[in-house]
Amino acid sequence: DQQVKQNSPSLSVQEGRISILNCDYTNSMFDYFLWYKKYPAEGPTFLISISSIKDKNEDGRFTVFLNKSAKHLSLHIVPSQPGDSAVYFCAANNDYKLSFGAGTTVTVRA
Amino acid sequence: GAGVSQSPSNKVTEKGKDVELRCDPISGHTALYWYRQSLGQGLEFLIYFQGNSAPDKSGLPSDRFSAERTGGSVSTLTIQRTQQEDSAVYLCASSLIRSGGEQFFGPGTRLTVL
Convert B25-91 into a string of H (helix), E (strand) and C (coil): CCCCCCEEEEEEECCCCCEEEEEEEECCCCCECCCCCCCCEEEEEHHHCCEEEEECCCCHHHCEEEE
Which positions in chain A touch B103 (Cβ < 8 Å)? 46, 98
Give Cβ neighbours of residue A87 (< 8 Å, ≥ 6 apart): A37, A38, A39, A103, A104, A105, A106
| Geometric angle at alpha carbon B6, from B4 and B11, rounded to 5° | 160
Residues of chain B below pLDDT 50: none
A65-94 exposure pattern, b = at least 16 Cβ within 10 A, e = fewer: bbeeeebebbbbbeebeeebbbbbbbbbbe
B102–A94 C-beta distance less than 8 A: no
Which positions in chain A touch B98 (Cβ < 8 Å)? 96
Question: What string of pLDDT tens digits covers the 110 residues of chain A?
Answer: 689 999 999 999 999 999 999 999 999 999 899 999 999 889 999 999 999 999 999 999 999 999 999 999 999 999 999 999 999 999 998 877 889 999 999 999 99
Q: In angstroms, what is the C-alpha Rg of chain B?
A: 13
Round the average pLDDT of chain A to a whole number and report it. Answer: 94
**Cα(B68)–Cα(B47) distance, integer angstroms:** 10
Which positions in chain B touch A41 (Cβ < 8 Å)? 107
- What pLDDT was estimated at residue A87? 96
pLDDT in tens, A85-100: 999 999 998 877 889 9
A101–B42 C-beta distance less than 8 A: yes
Most A CBs within 10 Å, among B53, B103, B110, to test the A interface = B103
